[in-house]
Each structure stands twice: as C-alpha cells, then as structure tokens.
C-alpha cells in the first residue's frame, strides 16, 4: 500500500531529464530490453510481482560491481554466472526521480543504510510511489557504494523517451 506522505514528498520534487549511455550485465541468451525478470522476482527498486524494471548502471565498472555484489549476496562464485555479456545502452528519459544527493534522498527519508541494505524494502517503497506518479525511472547511488544506477520503469516510458541496446561485449572476470 502506498504511503500518501511519501507520494506527496516525491511529487514535490522536480523530475530531471537524462540523456546518457548506460551498462548492464546479462546472461547470454537473455533479452537486453526485458525487465520481466525484475517484474517477477523484484529488485532494489521494484517489489516482486509488480512492474517491469530495467536496471542499468551509468558506467561499465558499476555494472560489474553490481554483478559481484549479486554473486556475493548469493554466496556464489562469479564463475557461476558465466558466460556474461555487458550491454551498452542509449538512454533518453524526460521524467526521472533523482536521488543522487543526500538532500534529495533526505526529502524522501531514504538514508545511506536503507540505500545499501540487503533488504530493499524502503527503496521499493520510494520506487513504487515514483512509478505510481508516472515517473519513468529512479536515478540513485549503487548499493555497491560506488557509481550510479538507473532503474527504468518500462510501463511509464513517455513518447519522447527511449532505452535502446547499442551493443555488447562478452565478459569474463580478470584472472585472480
């Protein structure tokens, strides 16, 4: 259930537009423009059984750090996730909730501990309210502690916005 106070706090923030390249790690054979896995299983910025969300990082290194965090949280080796591709995207959005500053996060009562928590319940509440308000995405620091991520809500993309996969590279971790 949406918290009307949180919805009002997010609604009071001015959305930003963003035009950038972004990166995402993905298993071979997966659709690079699908957010259906996150829709079913949930992620940091969307609850399970909710809305399709495409998770991308604003730089390649953050996408790899997100993969490393995923493996560590599941107590698995990176090798368990191979083969892997790092996709590059063109992203142009006109209505994004920007949570990159402490001031912006404070206005929605999202602290550093909630941002990086293994249980993403507070992040999900913020994203549900943003998605409910028709925002296209949430831009926020990565839970890895380094870099920036963008969670795109496909059902909220506006006519003048896009997310396109450009290319990919096959990826393997550096030899230890």
Over its length of 176 residues, how does the chain's per-residue pLDDT go in tens digits?
A: 899 999 999 999 999 999 999 999 999 999 999 998 899 999 999 999 999 999 999 999 999 999 999 999 999 998 999 999 999 999 999 999 999 999 999 999 999 999 999 999 999 999 999 999 999 999 999 999 999 999 999 999 999 999 999 999 999 888 76
The pTM assigned to this predicted structure is 0.95
Q: What is the pLDDT of residue 175?
A: 73
Q: Euclidean distance between the first and final Cα of the chain, in Å?
A: 46
d(CA 13, CA 44): 21
Are residues 171 and 84 in contact, defined by beta-carbon separation less than 8 angstroms? yes
Give yes or no for a contact between 2 and 129, defined as CB atoms under 8 angstroms apart. Answer: yes
Q: Using DSSP bridges, classify how beta strands 162-171 and 84-98 pair: parallel, antiparallel or unpaired.
A: antiparallel
pLDDT the model gives residue 176:
64
């Amino acid at each position: 259930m949406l918290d009307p106070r949180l919805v009002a706090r997010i609604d009071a923030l001015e959305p930003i537009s963003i035009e950038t390249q972004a990166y995402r790690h993905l298993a071979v054979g997966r659709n690079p423009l699908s957010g259906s896995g996150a829709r079913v299983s949930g992620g940091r910025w969307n609850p399970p059984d909710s809305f399709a969300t495409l998770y991308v990082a604003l730089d390649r290194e953050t996408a790899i750090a997100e993969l490393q965090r995923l493996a560590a949280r599941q107590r698995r080796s990176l090798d368990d996730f191979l083969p892997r591709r790092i996709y590059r995207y063109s992203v142009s959005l006109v209505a994004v909730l920007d949570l990159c500053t402490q001031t912006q996060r404070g206005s929605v009562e999202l602290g550093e501990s909630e941002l990086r928590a293994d249980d993403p319940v507070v992040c999900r509440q913020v994203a549900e309210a943003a998605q409910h308000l028709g925002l296209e995405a949430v831009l926020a620091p990565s839970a890895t502690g380094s870099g920036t991520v963008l969670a795109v809500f496909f059902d909220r993309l506006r006519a003048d916005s896009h997310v396109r996969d450009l290319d990919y590279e096959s990826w393997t971790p550096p030899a230890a």
